[in-house]
Structure 1
Amino acid sequence: MTFARPDPLSDQPSLPRMPDWITSARAETLEDVAFLSGAALSHLHLVLGHEEVPQALLRDRLALHAAEACMAFSGRPVRAGELRDAVHLLRPGDLPGPAGETYLAWRRAAERPVSIKALGRALPAFEPGQIATWLDVGKGAPVTRAAMALEAVLREAPRAEVAGLILADAALAQALGWDHLVPLLATGLKRADLRKQGDDLRFACHRALIASAVEAVRLSTDLARRAAHLKAVAPKLRAKASGEAVEMFLTCDAIAPSALPLPDRAARRLCDRLVDLGAVRELTGRDTFRLYGV
């Protein structure tokens, strides 16, 4: 007789699920879709308030998805694995290329509290005054402010989709009272939506945020379980600086062993040990130049 292998994540506490009526309802008017996006964002706000959610890790994972969406908007689709390689395998003096720059912009925008300085670091091609003007252009409800910020950026700089979407998410975060930008809009919008204006763009943003909030809640639940398991197995690790390494895994989407505060061989052993314990995953499928993440 054989028994199923126990799932180390199955007994972890779960977060409240997104109500089914939010995703199943059909929204044909701006008022209907605004109501549903408000409900979805309200539920996401509730989930993000749970201490079990690894906030920095969630934002970094969502930044990866946003960068992937932006590359598709540009007509040069790049998969998540390629984006990770473009950033995490950079050597001193190397340039990340367009894909890496896009991913770095999203990561920088999401890793620090929303401010003109932080956004300027993520978008160095634009002046702080210009960023401030775009960020403050929106009035009214949170999604309306986000849509107006996106429209303002693309009106002045039609090819600045990354900047527009980052500033739209920043405007949304400020309106919702979130300290950090949470990358949401890019993954829910379609390329054609970026050419819309006024009510059409607001409708598209509401619709996009319903889908993105649902996915963010699902990802929050998954990462909360994985983070809880990583914390549970951490006492079993004997390597020096393993505690610091665990904290890095709890904040970053992907990590190369060379980035850990350990000698190369010890870092690789630690990563292999964490994989054996089911606490992290090897993300590349390669024998060399590997990356690991929760």
Structure 2
Amino acid sequence: MTFARAHSIECLATLPRTPDWVTSGRAETPEDVAFSSGAALAHLDQVLARNEVPKALLRERLALRAAEASVTFSGRSERARELRDAVHLLRPGDLPGPAGGDYLAWRRAAERPVSIKSLSRAVPTLEQEQIAMWLDAGQGAPVSRAAMVLEVVLTDAPRDELSALILTDAALAQALGWDYLVPLLAQGLNLTDFGKRGEDLRLACHRAVASSAAEAVRFSADLARRTAHLRAVVPKLRAKAAKEAVEIFLTRDAVTPSALPLPNRAARRLCDRLIDLGAVRELTGRETFRLYGV
């Protein structure tokens, strides 16, 4: 084992894991649930501060999970494979379709620092003044503030769950002092929660945050391990611009060979080499129009 590989494993071993009592599901009272969600967020905040966690890639993976949830809330059946195809195989001038549009919205919301302008780019159907007004509706502690934003958006636009969820995660990020939106709420809520208001909705948001933040910590540890291995194999790559290509894999959920800074044939060979080294995976199971990711 090389020194770099051994050092990576040592670093990953120090990533704090979520305490079992946070994820046990035993919290019953509103106070217990709020305490669990706060502990889960504090733990995730510590993990996101670690250099070995690929934060851009983590947000992309969580955006994909959030898009799956949003699509389900809309009554559609597309899952990760279809969502990736809808976005990554788009040709210039093509439209991604409703499900792909949800995925694009989540990716755009999470890829730039939170601002009214970046949120308007993610949900262009909303006016910037409307976004600012809704975000200002939240007050108090982070999850309470997020729940208030979710409630006011669902009250004003009851059929726009996508915008409501994106703005709720944006409000949570702002309350926590995070520069970037981290998709959390969508994965933890269910369709019946959108009909709740007041304390019932706040409690649903606390439960959603507790479970989703713990899952984000698990994702972080897994991606940290995978990206450490990817970085470790870079010296074994002979292709020109291989290092630049690896940097793309370190920030994106899925990559087409054409997205790499190499001629198409060389890019495909590099992807195959990375698969042989156990550094990336082929995500589609197809022989053509393939996608690759860490």
Residues of 1 paired with 2:56 and 2:188: CA distance?
A: 21
Please give the per-residue CA displacement for 1:177-211, whole angstroms capped at 9, x wherever unaligned: 10000000000001100111110000000001111
Percent identity over the alignment is: 73
Distance 1:215 1:136, change over 3 A: same
Distance 1:53 1:25, change over 3 A: same
Unaligned 5+ segments in structure 1 are: 1-6
Q: Which residue of 2 aligns with 1:234?
A: 234
Please give the per-residue CA displacement for 1:109-152, whole angstroms capped at 9, x wherever unaligned: 00000000000000100000000011111100000111111111
Residues of 2 paired with 1:256 and 1:284: CA distance?
A: 11
Cα drift, residue 70 of structure 1: 0.5
Residues of 1 paired with 2:22 and 2:93: CA distance?
A: 48
Cα drift, residue 25 of structure 1: 5.1
Please give the per-residue CA displacement for 1:191-241, whole angstroms capped at 9, x wherever unaligned: 100111110000000001111011100000000000100000011111111
Residues of 1 paired with 2:186 and 2:166: CA distance?
A: 8
Matched-pair contact (CA < 8 Å) for 2:282–2:293: yes
Q: Which residue of 2 aligns with 1:52?
A: 52
Please give the per-residue CA displacement for 1:55-101, whole angstroms capped at 9, x wherever unaligned: 00000000000000000011112110000000000011111000110
Please tell me whether residue 218 in structure 1 is matched to residue 223 in structure 2.
no
TM-score (norm 1): 0.96
Unaligned 5+ segments in structure 2 are: none
Q: Which residue of 2 aligns with 1:4?
A: none
Please tell me whether residue 173 in structure 1 is matched to residue 181 in structure 2.
no
Q: Which residue of 2 aligns with 1:73?
A: 73
Q: Which residue of 1 aligns with 2:111?
A: 111
Distance 1:194 1:119, change over 3 A: same
Matched-pair contact (CA < 8 Å) for 1:134–1:152: yes
TM-score (norm 2): 0.96
Matched-pair contact (CA < 8 Å) for 1:8–1:229: no
Matched-pair contact (CA < 8 Å) for 1:8–1:278: no
Matched-pair contact (CA < 8 Å) for 2:147–2:201: yes
Residues of 1 paired with 2:8 and 2:76: CA distance?
A: 38
Residues of 2 paired with 1:102 and 1:254: CA distance?
A: 16
Q: Which has the higher mean CA deviation after the structures are superposed, 158-167 or 14-23? A: 14-23
- After the TM superposition, which residues 1-294 of structure 1 pair with which residues of structure 2 at under 5 Å, given as runs? 11=9, 13-14=12-13, 15-24=15-24, 26-294=26-294
SS in 2 for 1:139: coil
SS in 2 for 1:200: helix
